Amino acid sequence: MAAKKIVITIDGWSSCGKSTLAKRLAKELGYVYVDSGAMYRAITLYFIRADVDIHKKKEVVAALKDINLEFIFNEAAQRSEMYLNEENVEFVIRDLLIAEKVSDVAAIKEVREFAVAQQQKMGARKGIVMDGRDIGTVVFPHAELKIFMTADNAVRVERRFKELYAKNPNISIEEVKNNLEMRDYIDSHREISPLRKADDAVELDNTNLTEDGQFRKALEWALQAKKAKAH
């Protein structure tokens, strides 16, 4: 009999390495990986381009009707990439300009309803690893394995800075630090689905862990959860 598939959620602060872990776990298990943050980033990109006033509910609702989000697997890069209305936006949504606005957009009720409905559909058949901020608490509250990731602030700033500096050498560490702190604050203090650890989530602090170390730990949890499901 084929082993039963499970849902794995990975939530946590910005730049904790959630996507690195989620991608590797999905690959190892033969599961689909979904980067839910990319969806909020793509919506933000659309709102910026269409000059949507995010404080006007009518404008937001109308704009959402014109947004089609899709993840398409890129064979050459071996990763799924975000498409906004059939345009590949995987690269542009990683820009600091988007990072500066995305938390405010992600705090809007209608935006969350729009994204969460699509995320739940993607996980309906299980066999999925999804990372974000509310995946274990709201999107898949019955997930078989929920991981909550943390890491020291200084380590997270350093990691994000390295990532962004590779694309834009004009960026300063201060800018990155301020953006990270601002996003963490908004994401964890918003009224709707704030970032918080689900009661039944296991915490993974990777401040002093290598990528391999954290992967081994998470894989062990995943295999245990799969085994428990099979019984």
Residue ranges in the chain assigned as alpha helix (H): 18-29, 36-49, 57-65, 96-106, 109-122, 153-167, 173-189, 211-230
Which helix H or strand E contains 79, and what residues bound it? strand 79-84
Stretch that binds ligand DC, among 83-91, 130-138, 142-150, 219-227 (CB under 6 A): 130-138
| Greatest extent of the chain over all pairs of C-alpha atoms, in Å | 55
Position of tokens 């776990």? 25
Stretch that binds ligand DC, among 2-10, 128-136, 142-150, 197-205 (CB under 6 A): 128-136
Stretch that binds ligand DC, among 35-43, 76-84, 120-128, 147-155 (CB under 6 A): 35-43
Name which position in 17, 37, 123, 136 contacts ligand DC (CB under 6 A).
37
Smaller CB distance to ligand DC: residue 79 or 229? 79
Min CB(109)–ligand DC separation in Å = 12
Stretch that binds ligand DC, among 67-75, 132-140, 145-153, 171-179 (CB under 6 A): 132-140
137 makes contact with ligand DC (CB under 6 A): no
What's phi and psi for 83, nearest 5 deg? -115, 130
Name which position in 17, 123, 132, 136 contacts ligand DC (CB under 6 A).
132
Cα–Cα distances in angstroms (integers) from residue 16 to residues 27, 69, 147, in the given order:
19, 25, 12
210 to 229, contacts with ligand DC by CB under 6 A? none
106 makes contact with ligand DC (CB under 6 A): yes
Cα–Cα distances in angstroms (integers) from residue 160 to residues 44, 83, 130, 204, in the given order:
20, 23, 20, 19
Amino acid letter, residue 170: N
Name which position in 7, 22, 133, 198 contacts ligand DC (CB under 6 A).
133
228 contacts 144 by C-beta, under 8 angstroms = yes
Question: Which residues are at the interface with ligand DC (CB under 6 A)?
Answer: 14, 36-37, 40-41, 102-103, 106, 132-135, 183, 187
